[in-house]
Chain A
Amino acid sequence: MPCYNFELPASRREFLEKAGSGFGALALAALTGESILQGASTNPAASKIPHRLGNAKSVIWLFMEGGPSHIDLFDPKPLLNKLAGQKLPDSFDRPVTAMGEVNSPLLASKRKWKQHGQGGLWISDWLPNHANIADELCVLRSCVSDGINHAGGVCQMNTGSVFGGRPSLGAWATYGLGTENQSLPGFVVLKDSKSAIVNGVRCWGSGFMPAGYQGVLLEPGEEPIANLNLPNGVSRNRNERKLALLNKINRQHSIGRESNTELEARIRSYELAYRMQAEAPEAIDLSSETKSTRHLYGLDNETTQVYGRQCLMARRLVERGVRFVQLYHGAGSKWDSHSGMEKNHSTLCSQVDQPIVGLITDLKQRGLLDETLVIWGGEFGRTPMSEKGDGRDHNPTGFTMWMAGGGVQGGQTIGATDELGLYATEDKLHVHDIHSTILGLLGLDHTQVVYMHKGRPERVDLNEGHAHPRLVPEA
C-alpha cells in the first residue's frame, strides 16, 4: 500500500499540542464545542478554526445501508442491457466478490433513464422526484472501497478502514472543528428502524480518540438520548435539589484543589447535561413545523414519513449548530439486494425519494444549503453480474455517491466507471479521497487534522487520501 503525502511535524511538541494533551478538557469541548476553561493552555478547542475558508459548516450524510445499485440509479450502462445473459467479457479483470458471483450472467437494468436539469444529470425512474433537485447534485460515479462485505464496507465508509478501531468521519470532523451548540452533541446519528446497523456503535465510534467524540444516537420517542430523562419517580424539583447539593459539595471539595482543572470540568459537565435535557427534546420535536413543510418532507404519506421525519430532524439539528448528522436508511443492510432487486429497490427508493428532495429543497429555501454539505451513498454499489437470477452482488470497485450544497457545484458528474459499471476508470475516488474531500469542504486540510496515537500521527485518510481538486480547488 502506498503511503505518500506524509508531512513531517515541525516538532514533536507541535504534534502533541495539536493532537491531544489535556484529554479531559478536550473531550468536553468536543461534545459541546466550548472551551471549558478560558485560557487553559492545553485546550485545543481554542484553536478550532478552519484551516481555510470552506463553505460547509455542517454535514448531513444520507447513508443507504446495504449498498444501492449505482447502475440502476445514477450510472446508466447501455452495454449491460446488450450483453445481458452473457458472462462478463474476458477483457474485464475478475474481482473478488462477496458471494462469488464473478461468472454469473450479466443482469440487464430494467430502468428508464432520463437526463434532468441544466446539467443533464442521468437519473433513473426509481427516483422520479430527484428531477427537481438535479441541478443541486454533484454525482460522483467513480467511488472505490476495499470492503467486499457489509462489515468491512460500512466500517471503511465510516472510519477509513475495513478493520475496526479507528475514529469515524463524524468524530474527525468534530475533532477538527468542534461544535457550535453547547447543549447538543456535535455528532448525531439517526436511523430508520430499530434494526441494528452493521457493526453497531462502532460506525459512529471515536476509535482511539476519547469517547467524547463518539456520535450520539438520537432515538425518536420518549428518551432521544440515553439517560436524558429523569429516572422514574424523580420529580424535576427533587432532581434540582440533588444537583444543588452535589454542586455545593463539589465546590467545597474544589477549595484547595483549584489546580486540578478536571474537577471544574466535571462540575460544568453536570450543568451541560442539565441544559441538554432541556434542549435535545425540543430539537427533534417536529410539532412546530408547518403543514407545508411536513408535506414537503413527505410526512403526510405513509411510505415516506419515516425517512421524512429523519430528514426534517436533520435540518433542525444543523440549524441548531450540530456539526455532523448521519441518517441511516435501511438499517441492517436493507439495500442489500442479492435477489429480488426489483422489489427491494422499488420499495426503498420510494421511501427516500421525496424526503431527500424535500430536505435539499428546504435547506435551499432557508438559505442553509450553501453551508450544509449533503452526502448520499451506501458502503458500495452492486455488480453488473446477476445473483440468484434477479439480484446483484456487492461492488466496491466502482460505485456512485453524490454531494449537494456546502459549496459543491451541482448539476455535474465527476468520474466514470467502465462500460458495465464494474470498475471505476476515470477520476477514481477511494473512500480515503472522499473523506479528505469532505474535510476539505468543511475548510479543513485533512493532512493537518492529526491525532497522535501510540506515537503515530494518525489522519482520517490513513495518509493515503487526496481531496478532489475540482471539489476542493485550494487543496
Chain B
Amino acid sequence: MPVMASTSSEIFSEKDRSWWAIQPIRDPELQKVSLEAKPESPIDHFILSKIHEAGLTPAPQAGPQELVRRIYLDLHGLPPTQEQSERFKEAFHNDPDTAWEKLVDELLEHRRYGERWASHWLDVVRYAESDGYRADDYRPNVYLYRDYVINSLNADKPYDQFVKEQLAADEFAYDQPDKLIATAFLRHGVYEWNQRNARMQWDIMLSEMTNVTGEVFLGLGIGCARCHDHKFDPLLQRDYYGLQAFLSSVWWPENRKLGTAEELTALKEWNKRNSELQAELAGIELEAQKGKIANTVKQFPDDIQAIYHKPSSERTTNEEQLAQLVERQVNNQRNKFKIDNAFKDKPERLNLYKELKKQLEDQKKEKPNLKNAFITIDVGPNPASTAYKTRSGLKEVLPSFPALLGLPTPKIIPTNSSTGRRTALARWITSNDNPLTPRVIVNRIWQHHFGTGIVPTPNDFGTLGEPPSHPELLDWLASRFIDGEWKLKEIHRLILKSKTYRQTARREPSAVENLHDPSNRLLWRFPPQRLSAEQLRDSMLAVSGELREKNGGPSVDGNQPIRSIYVKKRRNSPNNILRCFDAPTGFDSAPNRPKTTTPTQALLLINNEWPIHRARKVADRILAKKPHNPSETAILAFTHILGRKPSNDELSTVTEFLSQKINDLPVTDKPKSTHKFPNEDGLRPIEQHFSKVKELGLGKHALWLQPGSRFEQLHSPQTKLESDSFTIEAVTILDSIHKDASVNTLASRWNGNQSRSGWTFGITSVKSRYQPRNFILHLIGQNPGGRTIYEPIASNLRIPTGKPVYLAASIQTRVNGKSTVTFHYADLSESKSELQSSTVSFQIAHGLQNPATKLLLGGRDQRGHLWDGQLARLLITPRALKKEELLFSVPVEEPTRTLDLKFNQPVDANNLPLPNTEWVRQTTPQQEPLSREQTTLADLCHVLLTSNEFLYLH
C-alpha cells in the first residue's frame, strides 16, 4: 500500500508493480486440451482447459432453436421472426457450422446490430437526454450522439478512432459534424442551471468528466483518488489531477453549430453580412435587459462577479470558465425575457426593435440551417491551471499519466484554438502499448455476450474489482483486437463462432459443478439471462407486429411502437417500463445492470395497459390467419410469441383455457367499469346553466364535456373549413381550469406539433405564462417569409369559471399586410351583459387550416388540454365577422356558417348527441368491443408475453 503523504515514485511496492492489469498484453500460447473435447476456436482451448482442470464437464452444443433465439436477441435485441427462424433451422440441418457463420455475419451487417449494441455503450457513458437537476431541461440535440454511436458500430469504426473522436474530435475534426458530435461524451454529465456557487459547480463538472474518462476507457475506478491517494490501488492523488489536467481546459459551448467547412463558412459569411443589423439588435436588447442581467450576476459571490466584469481578454482560462458559467445563467434569463414589457413606455424603441427583427427575419431565409452543436471544446490554446490541495498548500500539476507506469511526460501540441491536451490523452489511451484500453473493451464485448465479463467489474480493473477468471483468454482476445486494427466486429465473430458460445443453457449443474463453480464462471454451460429492459419492450413490439423502423433522428415518446434506443431518456422521469426493468437513469457510468425480480415488475406486466395492448395485437395477428379450432389457435400463439410449437401437455392445457366457458368474460360490449358516468349520456338540460340566456338560439341541451370520461371530446369529421380568415363563436361554461399550464381548449384543429398548421381556441390555466383564465388562441401557420411559426395570442380578456359566457374570435389574415384577431367576450350570467373586445395583431399570413387534422370540441388531438364544462352552441363562419355580424349582436342577416352546433334532440341510438359526430377519448384509447374468442386469445397471448420463457434466455 502506498503511504499517504508521499508522492514519490519510490513508494510503489513490488506488489503494486505486479498489478495484473498494467502488465503488457501478451499473446499467450493456446492451452492444450484433449482432442476429444473438439475445440472449435482458440477461445474453446482457454475455456475447456479450465473446465477440465476443475473436473467439470462442458455442456453440449445448443440446438438450432435455442441458438437462433439467442443470437438474434444478442446481436439485434429482437427475437427472430418465424421465417428467420425457419430459414436458419433448415440451413442448420444441412450444415450447422456454415449456417451459423453465415447467420452471425448477416446479423453483424444489419443496422439493428448498432441499435442493440449502442445501448451498451450509452450505459457506460451515462448517456441521457436531460440535465438531471430540478429543471431537468431536455437536451434536444444530444440524440445526434446516440446516432453517432449506432453508426460507428455499424460501420465497424476502429475503436481507437472511436475513442479519439469522443475525447478530442474538436481538435482534429471541427468541420466534420459526424465526428465532432462525439465530444458530447464529455458533456453527458448532469448540469444544474441555477447554481450560484460557480467554483464548486465547475469543480464537480470537471471531476465528473475525469471519473468517467478513467472508468470508461481505462477501467480505472479513479474517483477515490480525487481526495486522497487511492486506498487500494497504486493510484496517487497526483495521478488523478494529472489525468484531470488533460481535460481541465474544456468548455461546453452553447453557440456552436454542426456543419461542414463549407456550411460553417457560409454561416460565417451570413453573420458578417448581417453583423450591423445583429449588433444593433443586440444593443437594443441589452438596453432592455440591463437590469435583469445585473440582477442575475449579483446573485453570484463577489469574486465571481469581479471575474465576470473583467473584459474577456484579461481573464485566465480558469476565470473564463467561471465567467461562462455565469454567462449561461444570464443567457437563460435573457431567453425568458419579454421585450414588450420592458419597452411598454417606449413605443418608438419597441417599434424600431420589431422593425429590425423583421429585417433579420427576412434575411434568415438565406441563413444556412445548421443544428446546435452539443459538443465540448477547449476555452482556447492556453491551458487552465490544475491544482489540488495538499497539506503543504495548493499543488499545481501538469497533464501526466499514472506514476506507477513510469511513462515519459506526454507530448502536447496545441492548435490555434485548443490546448491539444485531449488529443495527447487520446493518443496514449489508444496506443498499442496501453495495457488497459484493449483489455477493457474486449472484456466489455465478452460481458455482453455472456452476461458477465472475464473481469466481472468492467469499470474497475483494480484491487477493488474482481480479477479475471481467464487472464490468458483476455490477453489473447486483446492481442487479436490489436492485430485486427482495433475493430470490434472481428472480436464478436471470434466469440460467437466458438463452441463456448454455442453451448446449451439447458443443462443443470452436476454435483461437482454445484460444489466448485455454482456461479458458472468457468462457463460449463451458456449462462441463462433475463432479457434487458430494451430487449423486453422491443420484443413485445416485435411479436405484436407493431414495431416501426426508425433510422436515427430525434427521440420519441415511449408510447410509440419504436425501438427503446430511440425512446426519450429524461433523467428525472424515465420511461416506466424501461426503468422498472433496470435501465439505468444516466447519473453515472453504468457498466453492469442489475437484473432485479420485483413484485412491481409483476404488477406492471399483469396490470399495465401497455403489455395488454401488445397482447391484443398479437391476438389480432393470430386471428387474421383464421385458425379453425382452439388447438390451431394455440399452436399459432406459441409459434408467434415463443417461436416454437407447444408440447402435447402445453397444447392440452392451453386449448382447455381457450375453450373454457367463463361467465364473466365480456362477450360483446365493453364492461361497465370502463364507464366513469354510467348514467350519463353526454348531454345536460340547457336550464342547468343557460336558463337566463335569451336570443342566442340555444337548443334544449348542452354538450357535457368531462375529462376522464367517455365524454371528453366531440369530433366533427365532416366540417370543411378552408379559409384562413374565420370566426369562432361559442356559448359555453368552463367549470374549472387545469392546475398546470395546459390550455382549456374548447375547439381546435391541431395535433400539438408546432411545425404543423392548426389553431386552437381556449382559456389559459393556473400556471400559464399569460396568467390564468386568459381567453387565448394558438395559431400555427406560415409567416410572410413562408416559415411555419407558432403564435400564442392572448386576448387579456379574463373569463370567469362557473358562469355561462359568450366567446368569439374573429380572425383576419393579411389585409393590408396585417393579420389581426378580435376577441369578444360577454358574461351571460347577468341579464344585461355587455360585450368586451380586444384586438391583437399577429404575424402568420396564411396556412392555418390543415385538412389532415381533426376538428375537435373539448380539446386537441394530443394528450391533455381538455375542457371541463358545457357547450351550448358553437358557430364557425368562414370569414372574419364584424362586431355587428356576431351572434351576440343578433344580426339582421345570418352569415353563411361552416358549422353550427346546437343540441335539440336527445342522444341517438349510437349514443351520439348529433349525427355526423363521434366521441373521442384520449385518456384510454378507444377499444373495439372484443368477442369471447378475441378475449380469451388476448388473455393467452398476455400470459405467454409475461411467461418466464419469453422473459429469459434459458
Which residues in A have some Cβ–Cβ distance to B below 8 Å?
1-3, 6, 8, 12, 16, 21, 23-25, 27-28, 31-32, 94, 96-100, 102, 146, 148-152, 162-165, 194, 198-202, 205, 207-212, 216, 225-233, 235, 237-239, 241-243, 245-246, 248-250, 252-254, 256-260, 262-263, 265-267, 269-270, 272-273, 276-277, 452, 454-457
Indicate if the CB atoms of A1 and B666 lie closer than 8 Å. no
User: Are A248 and B653 CB-contacts (below 8 A) given A99-B299, A163-B190?
Assistant: yes
Cα A45 to Cα B428 in complex, Å, equals 45
A297 nearest CB across to chain B (Å): 25
A393 nearest CB across to chain B (Å): 10
13 of the cross-chain contacts (CB-CB < 8 Å) are A97-B196, A100-B196, A100-B298, A162-B204, A230-B607, A233-B673, A242-B606, A245-B657, A252-B649, A269-B598, A454-B460, A455-B457, A457-B464
B302 nearest CB across to chain A (Å): 7
20 further contact pairs, Cβ within 8 A, besides A149-B195, A229-B607, A238-B939:
A8-B231, A21-B519, A24-B530, A98-B194, A98-B299, A100-B301, A148-B195, A152-B133, A164-B587, A233-B666, A242-B939, A245-B940, A250-B948, A252-B649, A262-B530, A270-B599, A273-B602, A455-B221, A455-B459, A455-B462
Q: How many chain B residues have a CB neighbour from A under 8 Å?
A: 98
Cα A55 to Cα B517 in complex, Å, equals 41
User: With a CB–CB cut-off of 8 A, which chain A residues contact B948?
Assistant: 250, 253-254, 263, 266-267
**Set A229, A256, A269: member contacting B602, Cβ < 8 A:** A269
B761 nearest CB across to chain A (Å): 27
A186 nearest CB across to chain B (Å): 11
Residue of A nearest to B226 (CB): A1
Cα A233 to Cα B669 in complex, Å, equals 10
User: Are A263 and B954 CB-contacts (below 8 A) given A249-B650, A454-B589?
Assistant: yes
Cα A253 to Cα B668 in complex, Å, equals 34
Is the C-beta of B278 less than 8 angstroms from some C-beta in chain A? no
B691 nearest CB across to chain A (Å): 32
Cα A12 to Cα B594 in complex, Å, equals 20
**Set A194, A239, A253: member contacting B606, Cβ < 8 A:** A239
User: With a CB–CB cut-off of 8 A, which chain B residues contact A225?
Assistant: 600, 603
B292 nearest CB across to chain A (Å): 14
**Set B195, B596, B660, B951: member contacting A152, Cβ < 8 A:** B195
User: With a CB–CB cut-off of 8 A, which chain A residues contact B947?
Assistant: 246, 249-250, 253
Within 8 A of A (CB), among B441-458: 457
User: With a CB–CB cut-off of 8 A, which chain B residues contact A265?
Assistant: 597
Indicate if the CB atoms of B597 and A266 lie closer than 8 Å. yes
**Set A94, A164, A262: member contacting B595, Cβ < 8 A:** A262
Cα A67 to Cα B601 in complex, Å, equals 35
User: With a CB–CB cut-off of 8 A, which chain A residues contact B134?
Assistant: 149-151, 198-199
Cα A129 to Cα B673 in complex, Å, equals 45
B411 nearest CB across to chain A (Å): 31
Indicate if the CB atoms of A266 and B224 lie closer than 8 Å. no
Indicate if the CB atoms of B194 and A241 lie closer than 8 Å. no
Cα A294 to Cα B606 in complex, Å, equals 36
Which residue among B460, B612, B948 has the maximum number of chain A CB atoms within 10 Å of its CB? Answer: B948
Residue of A nearest to B602 (CB): A273
Residue of A nearest to B298 (CB): A100
Indicate if the CB atoms of A241 and B662 lie closer than 8 Å. yes
A151 nearest CB across to chain B (Å): 4
Cα A100 to Cα B308 in complex, Å, equals 15
Cα A194 to Cα B738 in complex, Å, equals 12
Indicate if the CB atoms of B591 and A249 lie closer than 8 Å. no
User: Are A233 and B671 CB-contacts (below 8 A) given A99-B299, A205-B585, A455-B457?
Assistant: yes
Indicate if the CB atoms of B598 and A212 lie closer than 8 Å. yes
Indicate if the CB atoms of B227 and A246 lie closer than 8 Å. no
Indicate if the CB atoms of A211 and B299 lie closer than 8 Å. no
User: Are A1 and B227 CB-contacts (below 8 A) given A210-B582, A216-B600, A245-B943?
Assistant: yes
Is the C-beta of B508 less than 8 angstroms from some C-beta in chain A? yes
Is the C-beta of B271 less than 8 angstroms from some C-beta in chain A? no
Residue of A nearest to B930 (CB): A233
Indicate if the CB atoms of B594 and A210 lie closer than 8 Å. yes
Within 8 A of A (CB), among B196-255: 196-197, 200, 204, 208, 215, 221, 223-224, 227-228, 231
Q: What 10 A-B pairs have minimum CB-CB distances, sorted nearest first?
A: A455-B460, A165-B587, A100-B299, A27-B596, A151-B134, A273-B602, A455-B464, A210-B594, A227-B603, A273-B599
Cα A302 to Cα B192 in complex, Å, equals 38
**Set A27, A99, A232, A456: member contacting B464, Cβ < 8 A:** A456
Indicate if the CB atoms of B664 and A238 lie closer than 8 Å. yes
Q: How many A-B residue pairs have CB under 8 A?
A: 253
User: Are A454 and B298 CB-contacts (below 8 A) given A3-B227, A98-B196, A201-B572?
Assistant: no
Is the C-beta of B341 less than 8 angstroms from some C-beta in chain A? no
Is the C-beta of B422 less than 8 angstroms from some C-beta in chain A? no
B844 nearest CB across to chain A (Å): 34
User: Are A454 and B457 CB-contacts (below 8 A) given A3-B228, A24-B597, A100-B299?
Assistant: yes
Indicate if the CB atoms of B215 and A273 lie closer than 8 Å. no
User: Are A260 and B671 CB-contacts (below 8 A) given A249-B944, A273-B602, A456-B223?
Assistant: no
Cα A194 to Cα B739 in complex, Å, equals 9
User: Are A241 and B939 CB-contacts (below 8 A) given A202-B572, A273-B599?
Assistant: yes
Residue of A nearest to B230 (CB): A456
Cα A241 to Cα B935 in complex, Å, equals 12
User: With a CB–CB cut-off of 8 A, which chain A residues contact B215?
Assistant: 454
Is the C-beta of B632 less than 8 angstroms from some C-beta in chain A? no
Cα A212 to Cα B462 in complex, Å, equals 28
A159 nearest CB across to chain B (Å): 10
Stretch at the interface among B172-180, B573-581, B772-780, B827-835: B573-581
**Set B227, B650, B674: member contacting A2, Cβ < 8 A:** B227
B390 nearest CB across to chain A (Å): 13
**Set A241, A256, A262, A456: member contacting B224, Cβ < 8 A:** A456
Residue of B nearest to A203 (CB): B572
Residue of A nearest to B653 (CB): A248
User: With a CB–CB cut-off of 8 A, which chain A residues contact B943?
Assistant: 242, 245-246, 249
Indicate if the CB atoms of B942 and A228 lie closer than 8 Å. no
A268 nearest CB across to chain B (Å): 8
Residue of A nearest to B302 (CB): A94
Which residue among B228, B506, B528, B606 has the maximum number of chain A CB atoms within 10 Å of its CB? Answer: B606
Within 8 A of A (CB), among B923-954: 924, 939-940, 942-944, 946-949, 951-952, 954
User: Are A24 and B595 CB-contacts (below 8 A) given A227-B607, A238-B662, A455-B460?
Assistant: yes
Indicate if the CB atoms of A272 and B653 lie closer than 8 Å. no
User: Are A27 and B597 CB-contacts (below 8 A) given A164-B132, A205-B585?
Assistant: yes
Cα A396 to Cα B508 in complex, Å, equals 57
User: With a CB–CB cut-off of 8 A, which chain A residues contact B657?
Assistant: 241, 245
Residue of B nearest to A235 (CB): B664
Cα A262 to Cα B530 in complex, Å, equals 9
User: Are A233 and B597 CB-contacts (below 8 A) given A6-B231, A267-B948, A455-B459?
Assistant: no
**Set A31, A237, A267, A456: member contacting B221, Cβ < 8 A:** A456
B675 nearest CB across to chain A (Å): 10
B577 nearest CB across to chain A (Å): 10
Cα A452 to Cα B650 in complex, Å, equals 43
Indicate if the CB atoms of B601 and A269 lie closer than 8 Å. yes
Is the C-beta of B608 less than 8 angstroms from some C-beta in chain A? yes
Indicate if the CB atoms of B954 and A257 lie closer than 8 Å. yes
Indicate if the CB atoms of A28 and B606 lie closer than 8 Å. no
User: With a CB–CB cut-off of 8 A, which chain A residues contact B650?
Assistant: 249, 252
User: With a CB–CB cut-off of 8 A, which chain A residues contact B136?
Assistant: 200
Indicate if the CB atoms of B571 and A227 lie closer than 8 Å. no
Indicate if the CB atoms of B508 and A237 lie closer than 8 Å. no
Indicate if the CB atoms of A231 and B664 lie closer than 8 Å. no
Cα A402 to Cα B805 in complex, Å, equals 53
Residue of B nearest to A263 (CB): B948
Indicate if the CB atoms of A164 and B299 lie closer than 8 Å. no
Is the C-beta of B588 less than 8 angstroms from some C-beta in chain A? yes
Cα A457 to Cα B457 in complex, Å, equals 13
User: With a CB–CB cut-off of 8 A, which chain A residues contact B939?
Assistant: 238, 241-242, 245
User: With a CB–CB cut-off of 8 A, which chain A residues contact B508?
Assistant: 256-259
